[in-house]
Chains A and B, each alone.
Chain A
Amino acid sequence: STIVLVFEAPADFEFTIHAGDKVKVGQCLGDI
């Protein structure tokens, strides 16, 4: 199964992850 997130964000939004990273619920994906 997969979850796709699509969202609008300001230009200064940055992902804090990399492709292939293992993540857990509540872990930071991105921030402003």
Chain B
Amino acid sequence: VITAWTSTPTKWYPLPLAVGALLLVAIQYRRKVRNSAKEVEVDEEGREVIKLKGPWHVHVIGALPLRNMSRLWGYVNSLELPVWFRPYGYRLYAYAFGCNLDEIEPSDLRSYPSLGAFFYRKLKDGARPVDPAVLVSPADGTILHFGTIDQDYMRVEQVKGITYHLDALLGVERPGSPVAMVEHNRDASTVDDQEFAIVNGIEYTLEQLIGGSGTSSEESSTPSTPPNEVADDSDHPDPHAPPKKFGQRIDASVVEPERNTTAHDASVALEMGVKPALERKYSTGARNVRPGNTLHFAVIYLAPGDYHRFHSPTAWVVEKRRHFVGELFSVSPWMAKRLENLFVLNERVALLGRWKYGFFGMVPVGATNVGSIKVNFDQTLRTNVRGRPPPPGTYTEAVYSNASPILRGQPLTPAEEMGGFCLG
């Protein structure tokens, strides 16, 4: 071979014109096929059809029963470990995944009955100082990506060059939804110099709002909308009906809060400028951005060793949650670079509401090892349950309008614990 390679003379001669033309045709054809593969497939309503797209190894992973594997993983990790083994096992886990055992509460490793309980560990008070900035991190993790969203296209960049539609992530806003309802009732709710407010005919003084010497609003009056009653259900479809198309809301309910104090509402209200929900000029929503404002996004990845509870990133009011049952692919950076629509395909809970600058949304996204998402103020939420997932884009919705008659939602202060991810 070496002799042939070195001693064979090279003779150059021109290719016939037809061969060159064929080569150009082949290159053009290949380019066209590649571009058509990138085109977005849409349904009869013009919405993008979410499908599994990526290289062959992504399709291999997609063929696995990830949801069943996740639940089995959760079951295995809920098994109680022998007390003598716990310190060794958890120390080994902490060493392998880089957990800081000095900041956990309780610090006695024998008090965690299972790996699942250790995974959902709490932190000591003061372990995470809160920055006074308007936006703080809701979790321990790594910043995967962040930026602004072009409001003409409403597409969020997953990684460089791969995008997904914001409507597919959050769900499509519908007329009659709670946000629209609050806006619709705006004329019935007025504020006079921020001294007192009338909400649906009920008068609140500023002292009541901010928890001063007056009695709490809960004591002095009751909201006009009774608890557990959907304020406007004209747009709610039959909860038992199967989903028909992309983005259809298949259930709606009002979630009763466990406990809310007027002082807590007031602390959020003050940070938001006192008059949220009472005197809003603009309806909040990803598609109702105020003039001069921009939509931003940030993605935080929680590695297996990270603290897995999430906290409020700012002072805001959660008006509703949308639970999208979906797949449970890994959400590691490796997967995010290869699987298009990863965050739209996976099971997630979109918590939507408002902060002092307008719309605010937070979406915890599940993964194979952490398929269960808990939200502390929503005891009815059940994630990663047995059964075939509905088509991508369908969701169940709950509104928190009864959580606070003042704020018409669940108020949260910066860094307040909201929930977390559990194994399986």
Q: Which residues of A contact B (CB under 8 A)?
A: 1-11, 13, 15-32
Contact = CB atoms under 8 A, between A and B. Distances in A.
A21 to B, nearest CB: 5
Interface of B: 123, 128-131, 133-146, 149, 156, 166, 169-170, 284, 286, 289-290, 292-302, 307-308, 310-311, 313, 331, 343, 348, 355, 357-367, 370, 414-415, 421
A6 B302 contact: no
B313 A5 contact: yes
Query: Among A6, A17, A21, which residue has the most Cβ atoms of chain B within 10 A?
Result: A6
Contacts of B166: 6
Nearest to B282: A8
B137 A24 contact: yes
Given A19-B143, A23-B141, A26-B137, A6 B169 contact: yes
Given A1-B331, A26-B415, A19 B296 contact: no
Given A26-B128, A29-B135, A7 B140 contact: no
A5 B310 contact: no
A8 B295 contact: yes
A2 to B, nearest CB: 4
A29 B311 CA distance: 13
A8 B293 contact: yes
A31 B134 contact: yes
B299 A1 contact: no
B105 to A, nearest CB: 14
B311 A3 contact: no
A18 to B, nearest CB: 7
A8 B137 contact: no
A4 B294 contact: no
Query: Among B289, B296, B313, B355, which residue has the most Cβ atoms of chain A within 10 A?
Result: B296
A6 B365 CA distance: 13
Given A1-B367, A13-B357, 13 more contacts: A1-B301, A5-B296, A5-B362, A8-B286, A8-B360, A10-B294, A13-B296, A20-B143, A23-B143, A24-B137, A24-B140, A25-B415, A27-B131
